[in-house]
Structure 1
Amino acid sequence: MQDLYLAAFARHNRAVSKRREFARAWGKYIDVHPWDIDVRNVDPSTLEILAVTREPAPAELALIFSEWLAALRAALDNGLYALAAATSGQNPPPQAERLQYPVCSTPEEFKKQAKRLTSLPEHVIEALEKSQPYQSPYGPESNLTYWIHELARKDRHRTLHVGLGRVDEHRIRVAAPPGVEIEFDTSVKPYSQIEGELVVARLTANRPIHPHEIKADLRGVAIAPEIQAWAGFTLNGASQTLQDRMIYTEIFVRNHLENMAVMGAAVPPDGFKTFDPSQPADGAA
């Protein structure tokens, strides 16, 4: 059944190539400088500096992200199919049409999904339950498998995920007229996505001031890609860039595939990368 595992890992490798394609497409998008800078009065002495979307992210980004999601979700399903074939010694395995890698947010949901897995050995079902999102100490939404399932489901059945820009670095310089003192509002922390426009700085002058009197240099503001539906995700309480999230998710899925390979007495085509199979306690990421 080694060939079935090869197909599952090939799906995973396809996702890796799609992430790199996504990065190249993002680079082409920002090369056209799709954001403008606007300076507006909040009151006569207070100004806000905003990043304003002039050119929305192209549909190509959403399509590539869709393909990345689909490849990872399919890799999990293909890995489970390979495991079912390996443990049964049959291809197709018993009840093949019912097999789907379970991703559950509650124990009750897993019990329902487990009815589709009755052809698998009990120890496999137990291992699958241990990896479920509801087992995560920070809740199911802190689990990357949860996000692969949710994002892929919405992508398939609803619409493509919207690509956005996200402020990842924030260093703004301003030049005020002679004799004018300004103070930045330190409560403005715009490390978030730009949905239409985003306030990146707010400053107050010691006299009424017009936007044309201020020169703003935003070359220290770095804008990275973001996916709207995934923008609020945190890992262990900390925000991650989209690039890091995608890489971590690939590692997480790879770990699941390698665990299913071990249970099916198979070896990944390029070996084990997320744990040492000679150390059983190392199997779970």
Structure 2
Amino acid sequence: MQQLFDLAFARLDRAKEKRVEFGRMWETYISDHPWEIDLTVISETEFEFFAVQRAPAPAALSLVFSEWLATIRAALDNGFYAWVAAVTRQNPPAQAERLQYPICATSSDFKRQRSRLTSVPQEIVDMVEKAQPYQSPLGPESNLFYWVNELARTDRHRTPHIGIGRIATHKVRIKVPEGVTARFDPSVQPFQAIDDRIVLCRFTTSTPLRRSDLYGSDFRGVGIDPEIRAWAGFNMGGRRQSLRDRMVYAEIFTRRDLESMAAHSGCKPPEGFQLIDPASPPLE
């Protein structure tokens, strides 16, 4: 069954290629400066600088992300199929058309999935259940496989996901006349997704100013990274992660599970074991 696992790992390698392609496409998009910085005068002493999108992300960006999602999901399914085939020594295994790596947000969801896995050895079902998103201590939405599954399902049955921007680095320098001070509003949270428009900073000056007094403010320290609208709210334990990091970690976790499946099957990854000890390969 080694060839089946070779194909599953090849899928995962393909996902990495799609992630790199996604990054290159994003760099091309932002090289044309699709966001502009503008100023809102709230009063003589209150102002806001904001970023506004003047050109949406290209549709091709959404399609490349779709291909990445589908490839990650398929790698898990291919690995699961290979695992069952290896353990049962049947290729195709019994009820092969019903085999799919389950990704469940609740225990009741997994119980419903068991009806599709009646031909799968119980030891495999038990190990897969330990790795389910609903087992995550911080809840299923902290689990990257949960998101891969949900995003892939939406992409497959409804519409591709929309690429947008996220403020990744935020270093704003406000230029005010000599002798004038500016106090920033700490309630403005710039590290969030940009969907058409986002306030970068709001501030109050010690004396009334004209719009022209603020020309020369420096926004070169504001960095904009890619984001997917449906995934923009993700955080792990209250910590933000970039889209790139989420994609990389999803690939790492997929490889870890594929390595575990291979080890339980007496097979090996084409490039050897990198993330687990094949002598004791947990899947959890």
What TM-score do you get using the length of structure 2 for normalisation?
Answer: 0.96
| Deviations 1:104-144 (CA, angstroms, capped at 9, x unpaired) | 11111101101111111111000000000000000000011
Instruction: State yes or no: 1:262 paired with 2:263.
Output: yes
Shift of 1:283: 2.6
* SS, match of residue 41 in structure 2: strand
Instruction: State yes or no: 1:5 paired with 2:5.
Output: yes
CA contact (8 A) 1:34 1:54 kept: yes
Query: For the residues of structure 1 that align with 2:233 and 2:121, how far apart are their CA atoms?
Result: 38
Shift of 1:257: 0.9
Q: Which structure 2 segments of 5+ residues have no match?
A: none
CA contact (8 A) 1:87 1:120 kept: no
Query: For the residues of structure 1 that align with 2:282 and 2:126, how far apart are their CA atoms?
Result: 14
Aligned residue for 1:174?
174
Shift of 1:210: 3.0
Query: For the residues of structure 2 that align with 1:3 and 1:277, how far apart are their CA atoms?
Result: 18
Structure with greater strand percent = 1
Count of aligned pairs between the two proteins: 283
* SS, match of residue 87 in structure 1: helix
Query: For the residues of structure 2 that align with 1:272 and 1:5, how far apart are their CA atoms?
Result: 13
Query: For the residues of structure 2 that align with 1:271 and 1:178, how far apart are their CA atoms?
Result: 64
* SS, match of residue 175 in structure 1: coil
One-letter code aligned to 2:236: L
| Deviations 1:226-283 (CA, angstroms, capped at 9, x unpaired) | 11111111123211011111101101111111111112111011111111112x2x63
* SS, match of residue 174 in structure 2: strand
Instruction: State yes or no: 1:125 paired with 2:125.
Output: yes
Shift of 1:284: 4.1
One-letter code aligned to 1:235: M
Query: For the residues of structure 2 that align with 1:110 and 1:283, how far apart are their CA atoms?
Result: 19
CA contact (8 A) 1:84 1:93 kept: yes
Identity %: 53
Instruction: State yes or no: 1:276 paired with 2:280.
Output: no
Aligned residue for 2:17?
17
Shift of 1:179: 4.1
One-letter code aligned to 2:180: V
User: More displaced, 173-182 or 193-202?
Assistant: 173-182
- RMSD across aligned positions (CA): 1.2
* SS, match of residue 92 in structure 2: coil
Query: For the residues of structure 2 that align with 1:277 and 1:182, how far apart are their CA atoms?
Result: 60
| Deviations 1:14-52 (CA, angstroms, capped at 9, x unpaired) | 001111111111110111011100100123310000011
Instruction: State yes or no: 1:217 paired with 2:215.
Output: no
* SS, match of residue 51 in structure 1: strand
* SS, match of residue 234 in structure 1: coil
